[in-house]
Copies of this chain bind each other. A is one copy, B any other.
């Protein structure tokens, strides 16, 4: 599953009206199950407590519109699901323009877009439209109509665990979390589930997995809180590194959001890979967090989770508006994100503490690994290999060595294989267990 297939998946998922709960979430997860048949789907009843939170009633919507005096629809849910504020309670009411406007939401600084607005925890209803459209509304009577239900139901999420193939990872896992609660928007957020699905496909095909890989598809914020509340012990024990996949679909930038602690294994591999893959990438501190990394990094949860994005949430103009549509993302954008994450995961698989197996430099020449004539510059050709050997003292993991000798992980991985085969490099089992 590469760029084009990811984009096709995004096209298919785009029209579904997802929210914090409801059938849109279920439908989305079912489509994702086509790629990951072993994904488990969980239903958490309304009223369930999760730390400081309670799962609210389930919301479903069939229709919604504003109609003018002539019955002409001014805005309609059928045209765009962003026209109805998420979690709007049902209404059917005739009102004057002034009263209508109290229920209209626009993006004042972007006159042509429909904003994305929700009110999950306080009952109200609302309509979203472009500022231009609202300002053009004439005085008169309007019908506000929303055919929705807010009833005890469930919060729905999916989980997919791809086990390790070897025991080397010591029962540790890589966590990949993304969210499935946004209605029709593309970079934020259909790109996350699409790239996650592609990563799952790719990982399944790997002959060796030292780590298990845990994919989590949840509604944002409450979903991750519920998920953590049900799995905290396990996550704290097992997760070696994690990533929140969000905004990974456009082709304009690479971004990286630090974990709270800023130097976890996840951060280290992300920075290492980005430095080579996308030297111009932008770093955001944890102060610029905004998605489920907030929950994974919360005090007492303390999971080593960071994010690599393309254009990061909150940092591009189309964010949380109808302009974040399928034209914003592209097969190339999705592919770039997939490539970066693959490099990170491959780096983590190889990230062990290595030690050169002899004292002083090994004699590489007799193994055909070094030029037998010594002249000015003859050592340059094997510089990365020599540096790898020089720093493989059992105290630095491969990421640290890569950072130190300025050689990309993807350059070092084949050298690790070659030197290991030659018996010159060995893994220090005692160090960095599970990393």
A residues sitting closer than 8 Å to B (CB atoms) are 50-53, 105, 107, 115-122, 124, 221, 224-225, 228-229, 232, 260, 286-287, 289-290, 294-295, 297-302, 314, 319-321, 355-356, 358-363, 365-366, 372-376, 379, 387, 390-394, 404-406
State whether B299 touches A394 (Cβ < 8 A): yes
Contact of A359 among B221, B301, B362, B375 (CB under 8 A): B301
- Closest partner residue, chain B, to A392 (CB atom): B299
State whether B362 touches A115 (Cβ < 8 A): no
State whether B105 touches A375 (Cβ < 8 A): yes
The smallest beta-carbon distance between A407 and chain B, in angstroms, is 10
State whether A390 touches B294 (Cβ < 8 A): yes
Q: In the bound complex, what is the Cα–Cα distance between A122 and B371 (angstroms)?
A: 10
State whether B360 touches A405 (Cβ < 8 A): no
Name the residue among A314, A321, A373 with the largest chain B CB count within 10 angstroms. Answer: A373
Known A-B contacts A260-B390, A376-B319, A379-B290; the reply to A295 vs B361 at CB < 8 A is yes
Sorted nearest first, the 9 A-B pairs with minimum C-beta distance are A299-B393, A122-B372, A320-B376, A52-B358, A52-B362, A225-B360, A117-B375, A295-B360, A51-B359
> Could you list 19 A-B pairs, sorted by A, with CB under 8 Å?
A51-B360, A52-B360, A52-B363, A107-B376, A115-B375, A116-B376, A118-B374, A120-B374, A224-B360, A225-B360, A228-B359, A232-B359, A289-B390, A297-B390, A298-B359, A299-B394, A300-B355, A301-B359, A302-B393
